[in-house]
Structure 1
Amino acid sequence: MDFWLSLGFKSNPYIVKPLPGNEDGRELLVGRDAELRSLLRRMRESDMHVVLEGPNGVGKTSLVLVAAWVASEEFRSGDSQQLYLPLLEPLQVKEDSEEFVSACYFAIARAFLEYEDTLKRAGRSVPRIKDLRLWLDSPILRTRGGGITSPFGGLTGSASASANSSQGYTQAGFRAAVRRWLSDAFPDGSGGFVGLIDNLELIDISSAAQGVMEEVRDPVLQLPGTRWVICGARGIARSVAATPRLNGVLSDPIDISPVPDEFIPHLIDARLKRYAVRGDAVAPVSAKTFEHIYEVSHQNLRDSLSYAQDFSFSLDPEFFLQSNEARIENAAKEWLAELAMKYERDIRLQPRMWKLLDDLAGIGGSCSPGDHLVLGFNDRTHMRKNVVDLERYGLVTSSREETDQRRRSIEITSKGWLVHYSRSQGLINPTIPGVDPQ
């Protein structure tokens, strides 16, 4: 029998991917009411695009997807006159700004296809959907009567079907058409497509991220009928929003902190209730056990859910069905400790590097290169040498920009937090025998 069904669940309650933009997602977005209100307020009332800043795995993407759904539902129910519709997929910033701009326009075009009926029911203008679908599905522009037929109007050309030999002109025409469609469908103040520009920190250098976002300011961020939400970690989103060229275009970032500890039991209980198909469903990871996992992972929700899944699959369903909650909780703690020991066996670090990890954890798990004195180093170069070794074993992650003092560019990873926790609790040996840790 299916693993989850045998335990009484219709599917995996610890799913890691972002919450969907639907009723289920809204119910499972626990502990985020204040952030949701703030995001919706800025989305509707401000003429600047919203920026979210927060650690990796904190749930920024889930918040945006649910907020876009809430906004669209409030239009449907008559509580709002602004029609907001989410783009179908989050967009990832690319260092090639031209490629990213094209991805944005194609996402908007596909959204017009997806929401054709919704737009028509709302009395909004829609482009010629049949022609648009043909254009998106084929790189061939077919001519009729001496002119090229395209979703953005007739163009002169040869009298036969041909491959597109003027890509630059075609893209310019297509983008002009998308801008016109947006203006027609979403007059000023009437809503728009909500696009998520996610994981800005994937462009590792803040100056590069700034450059890309400045390059897409006019072709993307100035599009009518769009509301963009830009998400990033490690200080990059805040750094980008502060640049003069984007001043007045991007809002001051909303800080998204980890879900407070007191909401975690409710968060997991909501998931278990939503996915249960019978009253006696047995959870491999209860709310109490998940609280422990959440503590070990330093309040990283994504990593905690990942650990919950991995532990669940480490044992057969019969174990959970035949065990009480206390036994399952002990098994989960032992599993985490064994995982930490497995990591530790593969790590070969000098005591000073272990001390850096512990000291970094002591100041919250993140720092900038300028914090070298706080961490006991005389200069940044010496600290960087130790950071490189921690990075090699996946215990920390860092940006490549050492000169930007605004950024907290070095962070402990999920693996690093697990190893640190286990060492601090005496579950694995914190020192190398016979070596002075100083």
Structure 2
Amino acid sequence: MSDFWLDLGFRANPYAVRALAPTADGRRLLVGRDDELAALTKRVRNSDLHPVLEGQNGVGKTSLVAVAAYVMSQDFKEGRSQQLFLPLGEPLQMKDDGSELIRDVYFAIAQAFIAHHDDLRAAGRRVPRVDDLETWLNAPTYRSSKGGGVSTPLGGGYATTGTGLNTGSAFTDSGFQTMLRRALQEAFPGNSGGFVGTLDNLELLDTSSSARRVLEEIRDPVLQLPGLRWVLCGARGIARSLANTPRLNGVLADPVDLLPVERRYIESLIDARVHVFSVDESGRANTPVNADGFGYIYDVSNENLRDTFGYAQDFALDHDPAFFLDSSPAEIENSLMAWVDNLAEKSARDVRLQGRMWRLLEDLATAGGTAAPGDHDAYGFNDRTHMRKNVVELERFDLAISSRDEVDGRRRSISLTSKGWLVHFAKKRDLLGQGALDLSMTNESPEV
């Protein structure tokens, strides 16, 4: 069986949807974000507050943080900065269980000391013993702080230990957090740098009150750690509900809106993908979705970069390599447009909405895809309850997602989903299934 991407001249999938890595390739692939990259690195280096990024899902928040960490590490290595910043590792997902999140953080710190051991030593920083750290992380038991007189995983002199199970309660009692805190202080004294980590998907906690509770729980053991700089990322307006709360005041910076990559950068973005993933160093490869085609999908998906890469990948894999090798750009583009039409029509097949609900879908799309419960007047509803009833129907068909936030009715917690945008596109193109079409053409119910 042939290797699809290799047959087209690529060493790997150029439309991969995963976040960019903190590497040289990641930096080359971060196109159209120079201003945002400069602003984020400035905040990490010069502020005691943790930066907060607000933006729609798929806009590229985690990619920006990863590349910022890489750029700052290179600046130190190449003598442009005296601050040594290093990527902490994979983004950490927000969880409803604060103690579990704390444990994940300390595991990530230990892993970061292992991953960056050589860089830290080369910079003259004190680091824990890697072998002992790996033994602790991989063993079913580990040494706890309860007696025993055995040296800790971070080297002799910090504490004496006994043995405890590698469980949540034993971990909390072990003193391992204290040891890692001291290791961070010694590796990154003063304002000399630190690990850069991402706390991602704040919106997973659903309400701002839940997110506030978890962030307050991790404030001291995580957000106040020396030698550690966090960037918090969220969608659906949740970050703005958190930044100015009393217990987080002086910890989180005011959220910065990360807008979609501007349409004018699409050609450069695709060129970067082709050159980075091409087998031929000159960048000669047969691109299934060129800049024009990618821009077309980008418009359909409401400038959602992750969704656009996903659709481009799926379109490519729905064809044999020979189609892209033998067809003209015009033929490929026509095929792509027909493929998008078919995808949108399939997405709309199970949709059955009354006229008022169709109107809400269209109004949300016209407004950019997000709304707050407090916007009910602007959408023609008498109160939040009646708007909510219609939103629930959109949610039932996976056209929208929302969070019921009893604390902040201004939070833009209602968003169209990827499917919602496809169905919106299908309606514009008159591609709706007969059942959905009949319902969409009925007389609208009276205003509520």
Task: Tell me if both proteins adopt one fold, taking TM over 0.5 as the criterion.
Answer: yes
1:386 aligned onto 2:393: no
Residue aligned with 1:37, SS: helix
Say which is worse superposed, 394-403 or 313-322, in terms of deviation. Answer: 394-403
In the alignment, structure 1 residue 313 sits paired with structure 2 residue 317: yes
The one-letter code matched in structure 1 to 2:355 is P
Q: Which runs of 5+ in 2 are unaligned?
A: none
Tell me how far apart the structure 2 counterparts of residues 229 and 62 of structure 1 sit (CA, whole Å).
12
Q: Which amino acid aligns with 1:298?
A: N
Aligned to 1:432, the other structure's residue is in SS state: helix
Q: Deviations over 1:74-121 (max 9, x none)?
A: 000011110001112111111111111111111101111111111111
The offset of 1:165, in angstroms, is 9.7
**Candidates 222, 246, 253, aligned match of 1:244:** 246
User: In the TM superposition, what is the alpha-carbon distance from 1:286 to its structure 2 partner?
Assistant: 0.6
Cα distance in structure 1, aligned partners of 2:71 and 2:153 = 32
Letter in 2 for 1:272: V
Q: In structure 2, how many angstroms separate the alpha carbons of the residues matched to 1:437 and 1:331?
A: 36
Aligned to 2:438: 432
Contact preservation (8 Å) 1:109, 1:178: yes
Partner secondary structure for residue 438 of structure 2: coil
Tell me the amino acid that sits aligned with residue 160 of structure 2. L
Query: What is the CA distance between 1:402 and its match in structure 2?
Result: 4.7
Distance 1:14 1:208, change over 3 A: same
Task: State the shift of 1:163 in Å.
Answer: 4.8
Query: Unaligned regions of 5+ residues in structure 1, if any?
Result: none
Q: What is the deviation of 1:338?
A: 0.8
Q: CA deviation at 1:5?
A: 1.1
Could you tell me which residue of structure 2 aligns to residue 80 of structure 1?
81
Contact 1:368 1:407 survives alignment (8 Å) = yes
CA spacing shift, 1:165–1:119, aligned 2, 3 Å:
closer
When residues 139 and 237 of structure 1 are mapped into structure 2, their CA distance, relative to the original with a 3 A threshold, is: same
Deviation sequence 1:7-52 (CA, Å, 0-9, x none): 1111111110011111111111110001000000000011111111
Partner of 2:188: 186
Q: CA–CA distance in 1 between the matches of 2:161 and 2:293? A: 67
Range moving further from structure 2, 413-422 or 133-142: 133-142
Number of residue pairs the alignment of both structures matches: 434
Kindly indicate whether the alpha-carbon contact (under 8 Å) linking 2:208 and 2:407 is maintained by their aligned counterparts in 1: no
8 Å contact from structure 1 (residues 141, 148) kept in 2: no
1:292 aligns with 2:296: yes
Measured after TM superposition, the shift of residue 167 of structure 1 is: 4.1
State the AA in 2 paired with 1:244.
P
Distance 1:156 1:198 in 2: 34
1:207-286 counterparts in 2 under 5 A? Answer: 207-278=209-280, 280-286=284-290
What are the within-5 Å matches in structure 2 for residues 126-141 of structure 1?
126-141=127-142
What TM-score do the two structures reach when normalised by structure 2?
0.92
Question: Deviation per CA, 1:189-210, whole angstroms, max 9, x where unpaired?
Answer: 1000111111111111111001
* Worse-matched range after superposition: 10-19 or 417-426: 417-426
- Once residues 161 and 71 of structure 2 are traced to their aligned partners in structure 1, the CA distance between those partners, rounded to angstroms, is 45
Q: Provide the secondary structure at the position in 1 that maps to 2:175.
A: helix
Task: Work out whether residues 52 and 231 of structure 2, in 8 Å CA contact, stay in contact via their aligned partners in 1.
Answer: yes
The whole-number CA distance in structure 2 between the counterparts of 1:45 and 1:71 is: 12
Looking at structure 2, the residues matched to 165 and 47 of structure 1 have their Cα atoms a distance apart, in angstroms, of 33
> Which of 386, 395, 399 does residue 399 from structure 2 map onto?
395
Residue 276 of structure 1: how far off its partner (Å) = 2.0
CA shift, 1:60, in A, is 0.4
Aligned to 1:121: 122
C-alpha distance in 1, partners of 2:143/2:412?
53
* SS class of match (2:415): strand
- CA shift digits 1:133-180 (9 cap, x unpaired): 22222242469x9534422544365xxx77579945764511111110
- The answer to whether the 8 A contact 2:372-2:412 is kept is yes
Q: Secondary structure of 2:53's partner? A: strand
Alignment of 1:14-413 (within 5 A): 14-141=15-142, 146-151=148-153, 153-155=158-160, 163=165, 167-168=169-170, 171-278=173-280, 280-413=284-417
2:203, 2:10 → 1: CA distance? 36
TM-score by length of 1: 0.94
Q: CA RMSD in A?
A: 2.1
CA distance in 2, matches of 1:146, 1:303: 54
Structure 1 residue 347, shift from structure 2 partner: 1.2
Q: What SS is found at the alignment partner of 1:49?
A: coil
Deviation at 1:331, TM superposition (A): 0.7
Give the conservation status (yes or no) of the 8 Å contact 2:143–2:174. Answer: no
Confirm or deny: 8 A CA contact 1:91 1:197 kept in the other structure. yes
Relative to structure 1, the CA distance from residue 280 to residue 217 in structure 2 (aligned partners, 3 Å threshold; closer, same or farther) is closer
Report if the CA contact (8 A) 2:151-2:159 is conserved. Answer: yes
